[in-house]
A and B are shown apart, each in its own frame.
Chain A
Amino acid sequence: MGDASVATQIANKWRKKRGSLIMALHELQDVKGYVPWEDAMELAQAMNIPLARIYEVLTFYNFFKLDAPGKAVISVCTGTACYLKGNDKTLEEFKKQLGINEGESTPDKMFHLQCVRCVGCCGLAPVCVVNGKTYGRVGVGDVANILAEWRKKFEDESKE
């Protein structure tokens, strides 16, 4: 039950503060990468908040993930600068090559695709970020290379 206690610890930290559900859920997702059902249940119990309310919040904000995301999280910036510079097309290319929509993960759990609004380096627009690594001035033609790079990285890791 090592996992379970994470939710309870977080709940104990936030339960006394009014309106802190969102903060608790943020923290839970930071630790786990997403918000599993069992943890949401435990949080509900420990914070004395109905589970139904917790899922109202979880499903209202698209920031929250309900399923384990893929290993490589691809964030395509659709902030004003990146969007105007053509990141909408790059996003479409990612969707096409991965066969998923934004907010989804590939069935093999290797990639997760999401949109973000500005990562703070508009000078490099259009920008994509994969697991913290920033790619500047990306175009449709770079998509295959980025995906290949991460596939290879995971392959090498699994060989070690």
Chain B
Amino acid sequence: MVKLTIDNREVEVDAGTSILEAARKLQIEIPTLCNHPDVDPSAGCGMCIVRVNGRIMRSCCTPVAEGMEVISSDAELYEVRRMVLKLLLSNHPNSCLSCARSGQCELQEMANTFNIIDAPLPNLTKKYEIDDSTKSIVFDNSKCILCGRCVEVCQNQQNVWALSYLNRGLATRITPANGIKLEDSPCIKCGQCSAHCPTGAIVEYDDTEKVWAMLRNPDIYTIVQIAPAVRVAIGEEFGFEFGENLTGKTYATLRRMGFDKVFDTNFGADLTIIEEATEFVRRFTQAPESLPMFTSCCPAWVDLLEKYHSDMIPNFSTCKSPQAMVGALAKTYYADKMGIDPEKIRVISVMPCTAKKWEIVRSEDMKSSGFQDIDVSITTRELAKMIKQAGIDFRNIKEEEADNPLGEYTGAGTIFGTTGGVMTAALRTAYYYITGQELGNLDFKEIDGLEGIKETTVTINGSDVKIAVAHGIGNVEEILCRIREAKEKGEELPYHFIEVMACRGGCVAGGGQPRVIGSGYAKPWGITDKIRKQRAAGLLNEDLNAKNRMSHHNESVKTLYKEYLGEPGGDNAHHLLHTKYVARDKYKC
């Protein structure tokens, strides 16, 4: 432990702690635009300067030292910080009124806080071409303050290396290699760059207008579905606590917005488990050479696999994601059942994810109904915006139920939104399929929580099933290395069944989730481990209290197989609910 004083108050912290973090222990918030707990300090913005033993230094990258005397704010520091801000703004467009981040922008908030209203410096903003080539994420370099968070996240946390610095000095920009378009780069559309960007430089591709156009068209039958993680984050946009589960209010709101049917992706999650557990049991008991098996619900992980690890394609579950399954069934099973012309149906999905926008068009398999199975995928943030546009009082709206039959779900479906959840749900059902008995203990504490790689072994009928769970997709590398090594040496596999989610914490912290910032919230702003845990708890509690906690107990799913699909893993199910993967180049040009 190291003892120091900040503003003449003593504080004791671990060695290696930065001054900025130490100050937070004393409820002193040093301003910063680049520091974020998820990334290494880049010392990029210069706002966090403090006086250390008399000298001005950056507090984000200066570790504490014994006996250090820090002044966090004085008249000179205030003036220097204002100048730093003015310089940043001299290179930033004055387009707050028409910027997607307005009202939730760290730069805008900082400018207000520091009273930047007087004579600004001449504006030297450069115009850059906006890169919306992925149709998932939009990158506007002119709004970038070069804080470096997105690069850190993309390179180090995600290990994707789509984003990098181009050029130097005033010409510096953040782009893929050599300034090519994101679509031509290894970008997996996870959107963690947009979740960490402090300004409007990186935002999701806006599809809200498309949805409004469908809702306004009386000839169109609109079906909406919400992903597990949406229900525990949407409330943050309306002043609810982090992680508060607002499923019923979201259903009611969607109905008021004019959707003809409100379904739940959780139904698709239960269905995914039936198919995925069936697939795993078949591989485990009949085709051990096809092990290990990876989960495939996460589109960013699918994208990464196809680009970086195509040798593992045979080990990938062929199951589509829950959103894709609901889409395929809405235009076949449901349309048949209700006698609706599937051509008139539009399926809109609300996802915590930017990569889902890519998933709905990723291959011909996404047209298994004969139409595009899902027409539009919007993020939680876009839905929040639409709710506000519609003038719906989300806080006070009365809770409602989802529509049937694609609205029923079990606790196993809802935990899909958090790391470890898909695996937990799959194990509950796989255990039943192999043994014919229900698991006694439904929870697997070892694969819960925010450790990057989690492992456990579950004994089923005397055989050990070795499990791994990875999230924050950079962590998957280590698991793949262990598997490749074991295969090369002809050793026993280190794992049989592996869950992967691209975003740290899983979908609850997806690239499309609310970025809650503003004077009412404690810093650090944006997604943090604390919020990840709160949102996960919202899902885990729903599961704990659910009447039904196993996907194979979902009555609507059972009926679906009986009336329409036949056997789990059968031909019908394969046509609608499974997909294929192809090796693709990291760079398209």
A51 CA / B585 CA spacing, docked (Å): 13
- Interface stretch, picked from A10-18, A55-63, A117-125, A149-157, is A55-63
Task: State the Cβ distance, B151 to closest chain A Cβ, in Å.
Answer: 9
Interface string of B518-537 (1 = CB under 8 A from A): 00000000000000000000
Whether the Cβ atoms of A51 and B587 lie closer than 8 Å is yes
Number of A-B contacts (CB under 8 A): 41
Interface: A50 (CB within 8 A): yes
In the assembled complex, which residues on chain A have CB atoms less than 8 Å from the CB atom of B589? Answer: 37
Task: State the Cβ distance, B465 to closest chain A Cβ, in Å.
Answer: 33
In the assembled complex, which residues on chain B have CB atoms less than 8 Å from the CB atom of A54? Answer: 177
A50 CA / B587 CA spacing, docked (Å): 11
Whether the Cβ atoms of A53 and B161 lie closer than 8 Å is yes
Looking across the interface, which residue of chain B has its beta carbon closest to that of A55?
A: B177
Interface string of B166-197 (1 = CB under 8 A from A): 11100000001110000001000000000000
A28 CA / B155 CA spacing, docked (Å): 25
| Contacts A37-B178, A66-B178; A53 near B587 (Cβ below 8 A) | no
A40 CA / B176 CA spacing, docked (Å): 14
Looking across the interface, which residue of chain A has its beta carbon closest to that of B586?
A: A51
Whether the Cβ atoms of B167 and A50 lie closer than 8 Å is no
Interface string of A23-55 (1 = CB under 8 A from B): 000000000000001001100000000111111
In the assembled complex, which residues on chain A have CB atoms less than 8 Å from the CB atom of B165? Answer: 56, 59-60
In the assembled complex, which residues on chain A have CB atoms less than 8 Å from the CB atom of B328? Answer: none
Please tell me the size bucket of the interface on B.
Answer: 10 to 19
A55 CA / B179 CA spacing, docked (Å): 9
Interface: B163 (CB within 8 A): yes
Q: Which of B168, B176, B177 has the most CB of A within 10 A?
A: B177
In the assembled complex, which residues on chain B have CB atoms less than 8 Å from the CB atom of A41? Answer: 587
Whether the Cβ atoms of B587 and A55 lie closer than 8 Å is no
Of the candidates B161, B168, B178, which one forms a contact with A50 in the assembled complex, judged by CB atoms under 8 Å apart?
A: B161
Whether the Cβ atoms of B587 and A56 lie closer than 8 Å is no
Interface string of B203-223 (1 = CB under 8 A from A): 000000000000000000000
A66 CA / B162 CA spacing, docked (Å): 19
A40 CA / B167 CA spacing, docked (Å): 16
Whether the Cβ atoms of A60 and B168 lie closer than 8 Å is yes
Whether the Cβ atoms of A52 and B168 lie closer than 8 Å is no
A152 CA / B587 CA spacing, docked (Å): 42
A87 CA / B176 CA spacing, docked (Å): 37
Whether the Cβ atoms of B178 and A55 lie closer than 8 Å is yes
Task: State the Cβ distance, B545 to closest chain A Cβ, in Å.
Answer: 45
A51 CA / B168 CA spacing, docked (Å): 17
Whether the Cβ atoms of A59 and B587 lie closer than 8 Å is no
| Contacts A41-B587, A66-B178; A52 near B161 (Cβ below 8 A) | yes
Looking across the interface, which residue of chain B has its beta carbon closest to that of A45?
A: B586
In the assembled complex, which residues on chain A have CB atoms less than 8 Å from the CB atom of B168? Answer: 59-60
Looking across the interface, which residue of chain A has its beta carbon closest to that of B176?
A: A52
In the assembled complex, which residues on chain A have CB atoms less than 8 Å from the CB atom of B185? Answer: 52
Whether the Cβ atoms of B178 and A59 lie closer than 8 Å is yes
Task: State the Cβ distance, A9 to closest chain B Cβ, in Å.
Answer: 22
In the assembled complex, which residues on chain A have CB atoms less than 8 Å from the CB atom of B161? Answer: 50-53
Interface: B102 (CB within 8 A): no
Looking across the interface, which residue of chain B has its beta carbon closest to that of A37?
A: B178
Whether the Cβ atoms of A52 and B167 lie closer than 8 Å is no
In the assembled complex, which residues on chain B have CB atoms less than 8 Å from the CB atom of A50? Answer: 155, 161, 164
Looking across the interface, which residue of chain A has its beta carbon closest to that of B164?
A: A52
Task: State the Cβ distance, A49 to closest chain B Cβ, in Å.
Answer: 9
In the assembled complex, which residues on chain B have CB atoms less than 8 Å from the CB atom of A56? Answer: 164-166
Q: Which of A37, A41, A56, A59 has the most CB of B within 10 A?
A: A59
Whether the Cβ atoms of B167 and A53 lie closer than 8 Å is no
Task: State the Cβ distance, B153 to closest chain A Cβ, in Å.
Answer: 13
A59 CA / B166 CA spacing, docked (Å): 6
In the assembled complex, which residues on chain A have CB atoms less than 8 Å from the CB atom of B167? Answer: 59-60
A51 CA / B163 CA spacing, docked (Å): 10
Interface residues of A in 80-114 (CB under 8 A from B): none
Task: State the Cβ distance, B128 to closest chain A Cβ, in Å.
Answer: 15
Interface residues of B in 536-589 (CB under 8 A from A): 586-587, 589
Whether the Cβ atoms of A53 and B164 lie closer than 8 Å is yes
In the assembled complex, which residues on chain A have CB atoms less than 8 Å from the CB atom of B178? Answer: 37, 40, 55, 58-59, 66
Looking across the interface, which residue of chain B has its beta carbon closest to that of A62?
A: B168
A50 CA / B164 CA spacing, docked (Å): 10
Task: State the Cβ distance, A59 to closest chain B Cβ, in Å.
Answer: 5
Task: State the Cβ distance, A157 to closest chain B Cβ, in Å.
Answer: 33
Task: State the Cβ distance, A8 to closest chain B Cβ, in Å.
Answer: 17
A37 CA / B587 CA spacing, docked (Å): 11
Interface residues of B in 49-106 (CB under 8 A from A): none
In the assembled complex, which residues on chain B have CB atoms less than 8 Å from the CB atom of A52? Answer: 155, 161-164, 176-177, 185
In the assembled complex, which residues on chain B have CB atoms less than 8 Å from the CB atom of A66? Answer: 178
Looking across the interface, which residue of chain B has its beta carbon closest to that of A35?
A: B178
Interface string of B399-433 (1 = CB under 8 A from A): 00000000000000000000000000000000000
A40 CA / B155 CA spacing, docked (Å): 19
In the assembled complex, which residues on chain A have CB atoms less than 8 Å from the CB atom of B177? Answer: 40, 51-52, 54-55
In the assembled complex, which residues on chain B have CB atoms less than 8 Å from the CB atom of A55? Answer: 164, 166, 177-178
A51 CA / B178 CA spacing, docked (Å): 9
Task: State the Cβ distance, B65 to closest chain A Cβ, in Å.
Answer: 29
Q: Which of B164, B168, B589 has the most CB of A within 10 A?
A: B164
Task: State the Cβ distance, A34 to closest chain B Cβ, in Å.
Answer: 13
A53 CA / B178 CA spacing, docked (Å): 10
Interface residues of B in 258-310 (CB under 8 A from A): none
Task: State the Cβ distance, B589 to closest chain A Cβ, in Å.
Answer: 8
Interface residues of B in 455-498 (CB under 8 A from A): none
Q: Which of B167, B178, B589 has the most CB of A within 10 A?
A: B178
Q: Which of A40, A51, A58 has the most CB of B within 10 A?
A: A51
Interface residues of B in 127-162 (CB under 8 A from A): 155, 161-162
In the assembled complex, which residues on chain A have CB atoms less than 8 Å from the CB atom of B162? Answer: 52
A-B pairs with beta carbons under 8 Å apart, 8 shown: A37-B178, A40-B178, A50-B161, A50-B164, A51-B587, A52-B162, A52-B185, A59-B166
Enumerate chain A interface residues (CB-CB to B < 8 A): 37, 40-41, 50-56, 58-60, 66
Q: A50-B155, A52-B164, A53-B161 are in contact. List 8 more A-B contacts (CB 8 A).
A: A40-B178, A50-B164, A51-B161, A52-B161, A52-B163, A55-B164, A55-B178, A56-B165
Enumerate chain B interface residues (CB-CB to A < 8 A): 155, 161-168, 176-178, 185, 586-587, 589
Closest 7 CB pairs of A and B: A52-B164, A50-B161, A55-B177, A52-B161, A52-B177, A51-B177, A55-B178
